[in-house]
Amino acid sequence: MTFYRFRTSLQITSVAILFSLLLSSCTTQKTQAGSTGPARAVPVTVAQADRRDVPVVVTAIGNVTPLQTVQIKSMVTAQVVKVHFAVGQDLQKGQLLFTLDNRSFAADLAKAEGQLARDKAAATNARVSQTRYAALLKEGVVAQQQYDELESTASQYDAAVEADKAAVEAAKVNLAYTKIYSPIAGRAGDVLVHEGNLIKANDLAMVVINQISPIYTDFAVPEHFLADIKKYMGAGTLKVVATLPDSSAPLAQGKVAFIDNMVDRATGTIMMKAEFANQQRTLWPGQFVNINLQLTTEKNATVVPSQAVQNGQQGTYVFVVKPNKTVEARVVDIGPSDKGMVVIHKGVEVGEMVVTDGQVRITPGVTVEWKSGEAPAQGKQS
């Protein structure tokens, strides 16, 4: 009986102690909550959605190629007598490049001209004899066979004269080949032969000339741009801007000059050529440049800084700041970008503020603040 009372008393005491601890915990939590107060606003950087004209640009990597490349070779075998230009010199069309030893070719021409003169004299004599025998044949003095032989001989001499004329022309051509002129205007490369070298006909290149003004740039774009390229090219000339890989400053401006007639099945791209005037020689053959092909311009497009656009499981989104300075995540439909600004086709209106920095510290519904405490100017980050 005594043991039962002791056990009951112990249970009552334990319950009282537990209740006291719970009450103390709740009181402490309320005190702490009261001392903490409301959650602080998260500092972020914001910008206001703006409206502007944005060019629709396709970017690619291009390789600069000469408009024309010519390997100068000799058409005859002869010794180089004179080189008339310097390494890397700008050449004009028709400019004298090399002079070859022409003595043997001059002799061949003189020989051919002498043979022509001899055969011409023989042909003339044969025709005179033929005319004389034609009169005698009418009078019955000579036989028909004799006349026919003279006519055949005269025809042979006439043919020989024609062959001699051709030989003279060939000799003149070979003699002309001893002076080599530039077929295009361009820039000379290294001189590969020098005075005194013996050059064989159609053997090694003597110099390579590249036409670099104007100049081409080859580049490839994905095939899904082909329809737009054809559409806007039909409406006018497509402009192209070339820049260096480590710079955004325009290096040269040109136009689309060529679209290949088929898509590369292996890469799914189509090859194009842009032509640049290149009067300042800013582009050089073999150089790699960035190509910006402008298709059209989106007028009065809604734009936000590119830093505001985020990628998530639901797609592309931005954090929009409400008037009460809380944020909400909005899925957006983006368009082309230009100079750090992205076109928003759907999801953000002009004048709304979007978060451009500090997105990792916020979630939808969180209160935010920015340094100035005022709304930033349009299109500028605060």
Q: What is the pLDDT of residues 10-58, one digit of tens each?
A: 444 444 444 444 444 444 444 444 444 456 888 999 999 999 998 888 9
Sorting pLDDT into bands at 50, 70 and 90, what band is 62?
very high
Sorting pLDDT into bands at 50, 70 and 90, what band is 73?
very high
Range 43-52+300-369: architecture per CATH: Beta Barrel (2.40)
Closest listed residue to residue 242, CA positions, set 267, 219, 214: 219
Cβ neighbors of 172 (< 8 A, separation 6 or more) are 109
Mean pLDDT score across all residues of the chain: 86
Helix axes 144-176, 103-139, angle to 10 degrees: 160
Comparing 242 with 249, the larger pLDDT belongs to 242
Comparing 174 with 231, the larger pLDDT belongs to 174
Q: Looking at the domain 103-176, which fold is it?
A: Helix Hairpins (1.10.287)
Residue 226 pLDDT exceeds 80: yes
**What is the domain class of 58-66+212-298 according to CATH?**
mainly beta
pLDDT, tens digit, 9 for 90 and up, residues 329-360? 999 999 888 888 999 999 999 999 999 998 88
pLDDT for the residue 372: 55
pLDDT for the residue 132: 82
Comparing 247 with 318, the larger pLDDT belongs to 318
Comparing 196 with 26, the larger pLDDT belongs to 196
Least confident of 51-55, 134-138, 264-268, 312-316: 134-138
Mean pLDDT of 351-371: 89
The two three-digit tokens of residue 87, written as one number: 């390494």
Residue 366 pLDDT exceeds 70: yes
Residue 376 pLDDT exceeds 70: no
- Percent of the chain with pLDDT strictly greater than 70: 87
Comparing 242 with 150, the larger pLDDT belongs to 242
Place of tokens 């970008």: 337
Question: Domain 75-101+178-204 classified CATH 3.30.830.10?
Answer: no
CB 157 within 8 A of CB 163: no
Residue 310 pLDDT exceeds 70: yes
Mean pLDDT of 68-77: 96
Residue 184 pLDDT exceeds 80: yes
Residue 3 pLDDT exceeds 90: no
Residue 168 pLDDT exceeds 60: yes
Least confident of 97-101, 169-173, 230-234, 325-329: 230-234
Residue 302 pLDDT exceeds 80: yes
Residue 380 pLDDT exceeds 80: no
Residue 67 pLDDT exceeds 70: yes
The C-alpha atoms of residue 236 and residue 115 are separated, in whole angstroms, by: 63
Closest listed residue to residue 89, CA positions, set 186, 182, 179: 186
**Per-domain boundaries in the chain:** 43-52+300-369, 58-66+212-298, 75-101+178-204, 103-176
pLDDT for the residue 18: 40
The C-alpha atoms of residue 318 and residue 330 are separated, in whole angstroms, by: 6
- Percent of the chain with pLDDT strictly greater than 90: 63
The rounded Cα 210 to chain-centroid distance in angstroms is 18
